[in-house]
Amino acid sequence: MEKAKWWQDAAVYQIYPRSFYDSNGDGTGDLRGITEKLDYIASLGVDVIWSSPFFVSPWADGGYDVADYRNIDPAFGTMEDFEEMIAGIHKRGMKFMMDFVGNHTSDEHAWFQAALSDKNSPYHDYYIFRKGKDGKEPSNWASIFGGSAWEYVPELDEYYLHLFAKKQPDLNWENPAVVKEVLDILHFWADKGVDGYRLDAINYLYKEPDFPDVEPMPGSIYGFATEHYANKPKVHEHFRTLHDKVMAPRGLTTVAEVAYLNEETARGYADPARGELDALYPFDLLNVDQDGYDKFSPLPLDLPKLKKALSHWQGVMHDHGWLALFIGNHDQPRALSRFGDEEHYPARSAKLLANAMYFLQGTPYIYQGDELGMTNPHYDSLSRFRDVEAINALNEGLARGESEEHWLRLLNDRSRDGGRAPFSWSSEDNAGFTKGTPWMDPCANFKDINAEAEDKDPDSVLNFYRRLLKVRKGLSSVIYGDTEFLEMEDPELMVYKRGSDDEMLISVNNFSGNERSYKLPEDFEDAKLLISNCGDPVIKDGKAELRPWEAFTLIKSK
Ligand code: GLC
């Protein structure tokens, strides 16, 4: 068996910097805040920190609208603060992964400003401008954040394409000058010591240039045109360029945020033999509790559907690439509120989610606060929400005549703000996140669920995560093993086996408030307990008597 690459036995901690820790009392998290908390992060046993963007940005999309790729936004600090942070990360033996937003810039970026001011500027062709059609947009493509994907510029009598918010014009990767700029930026940060890149929305780089109209969504004149811009064959070329010109020569690792993937494309991106990307982060894996791609049409968790999706991706990537494993991120509501039972079994179900996800094959990505069992903030007013996607959806809903109460519930359950509320550090004011006025209100339950209290409690979610990352490390079944899901149709149990040449393990998870009996496969009857979320499992005659939300993992040599 080929020796694992370092990132295949690593765990990653994701920071959303604005909400992590505020060191100077201005109400927003900052880079010094991260530096001050590095010992905490290292204590989890993670190997890598990935931070969401902290570059100069008008913050129209949470920093994913970059106005200057080479400078830190003053709200987050200075270049010296960055250098100090990365030195502190390296000193503790960890690595740093940078978020690179390459599909679009902010409309306030100097390139776009130049493009707007003069059709003949070389920067005009950095973006995707088109003439209107019959007095309307060039096509009826919908923006991912609602409304049209085209914005009219009267001075130019042209429209520009924005797959995301209208303040995020898409870059034209078919212009070699754009690719050259991107390569320079990636080298710039590599020179500053970053160890890898998380590539944002990167499978949208190539758009079919004729922009055909698409089937409108129900009740709209616009339609999702992903078939014309997601995972088009030409993006492979761009990935190879990034790999050959930056990542390989500089020894950087990559993880790509990708959606709408099929098996062939996924392998095409991540098969090591092809030299494109190291690992995939398939964002739509968590679309299992909603109607299609509409996150504001929630459905209860369909566990068989989640198991099918996980099992599918495990099979597709085994020996053909590498996966990021995640239960939450800055684009999702809190995993515990969504998939666990925050009312009756908050800590136990938060631990279950980690046990269920992180013994699969791939690199664990832990989103800040999930290691505490943080929940959605459950705000009592619509004015508390900040995210562009949430606010656009709210406005569209209200315009359709839907009630504010309905949208308060929906945003509390489903919006990206759920995962973006400030990190609960302690029971002090503002959850110990800031001495000032926080840019977003913290979770109401921070007095009970916070890092300081959990650090001291051996039974906390935090200490469960620490144990899990420790016992998982170096296991051949975890790194190399194949994965087989059992009890596929069971709506409450998630059980899977992993097996390598010399070892096998089984992860058993009761996703319900019910007691359940589960007959272990015979080959596990003499296996040893690796980790559990509520004391020793009760196993009699090969049958586990599972308590509500009980989870454990057993292991044995072959
Ligand atoms: C990715 C980011 C998300 C952002 C979008 C546009 O999906 O994770 O936060 O809004 O790209 O950059």
The answer to whether residue 538 sits within a structural domain is: yes
> Residue 1 above 70 pLDDT?
no
Q: List the residue whose alpha carbon is closest to atom 12 of ligand 1.
A: 64
103 CA → ligand 1 middle, Å: 10
Q: Supply the pLDDT for residue 72.
A: 98
Residue nearest (by alpha carbon) to ligand 1 atom 9? 331
Rg (CA), the chain: 23
Distance 144 CA to ligand 1 centre (A): 10
**Catalytic residue (one of 73, 99, 200, 441):** 200
∠ Cα 491 336 473 (to 5°): 90
Q: Average pLDDT for residues 398-421, to the nearest whole number?
A: 97
Residue nearest atom 11 in ligand 1 by C-alpha distance: 201
Q: Which domain, by its residues, includes 546?
A: 479-557
pLDDT of residue 282: 86
**Is 525 a domain residue?**
yes
For residue 10, report the distance from its CA to the centre of ligand 1, in Å: 24
User: Which two tokens mark 136?
Assistant: 């309307």
Measured from the Cα of 164, ligand 1's closest atom is 6
| Tens-place pLDDT, residues 185-221 | 999 999 999 999 999 999 999 999 999 999 999 889 9
Residue 509 inside a domain? The answer is: yes
- Say if residues 326 and 281 touch (Cβ distance below 8 Å): yes
Mean pLDDT, all residues of the chain: 96
Å from CA of 384 to ligand 1 middle: 21
How far apart CA 374 and CA 337 sit, in angstroms, is 8
Q: Which of 186, 199, 195, 201 is nearest to 276 (CA)?
A: 199
Residues 76-101 have a mean pLDDT of 98
User: Could you say which of 61, 158, 257, 276 is catalytic?
Assistant: 257
| Residue with CA at minimum distance from ligand 1 atom 4 | 64
Distances (CA, A) of 517 to 484, 537, 546, 556: 20, 11, 6, 22
Name every residue whose Cβ is closer than 8 Å to that of residue 136 and which is 6 or more positions away in sequence: none
Residues with CB under 6 A from ligand 1: 61-62, 64, 101, 164, 200-201, 257, 330-331
Q: Which of 103, 164, 168 to mutate to test the pocket of ligand 1 (most atoms within 8 A of CB)?
A: 164
Q: Which atom of ligand 1 is nearest to the CA of 61?
A: 10
pLDDT band at 455 (very low <50, low <70, confident <90, very high): very high
Residue 508 pLDDT > 90: yes
Residue pLDDT, tens place only, 471-491: 999 999 999 999 999 999 999
How many domains is the chain built from? Answer: 1
Residues 248 and 244: their CA atoms lie apart, in Å, by 6
Asked, for residue 383, whether it belongs to a domain, the answer is: no
pLDDT surpassing 70 at residue 458? yes
- Residue 445 located in a structural domain: no
Q: Residues near 25 by Cβ (< 8 Å), separated by ≥ 6?
A: 434, 435, 436
How many CB atoms within 10 Å of residue 396? 16
* Residue 543's CATH number: 2.60.40.1180
Which atom of ligand 1 is nearest to 389's Cα?
Answer: 10
CA distance 538 to 176: 63
Arithmetic mean of pLDDT, 125-152:
96
pLDDT value of position 323: 97
pTM above threshold 0.95: yes
Residue 495 included in any domain:
yes
Q: What is the tens place of the pLDDT at every residue in 240-295?
A: 999 999 999 999 999 999 989 999 999 999 999 999 999 999 877 788 899 887 88
* Spacing, Cα 336 to ligand 1 middle (Å): 22
* 32 alpha-carbon distance from chain centroid: 23
Tell how far the Cα of 201 is from the centroid of ligand 1, in angstroms.
Answer: 6
Evaluate if residue 3 carries a pLDDT over 90. no
- Report d(CA 315, CA 88) in Å as an integer: 38
**257 among known catalytic residues:** yes
Whether the Cβ atoms of residue 200 and residue 186 lie closer than 8 Å to each other:
no
Q: How many helices (H) and strands (E) does the chain have?
A: 17, 23
pLDDT digits (tens, 9 = 90+) for 365-393: 999 999 999 999 999 999 999 999 999 99
Q: Is 73 a catalytic residue?
A: no
Q: Which atom of ligand 1 approaches the CA of 283 most closely?
A: 7
In ligand 1, which atom is closest to the CA atom of 104? 12
* Residue 548: inside a domain: yes
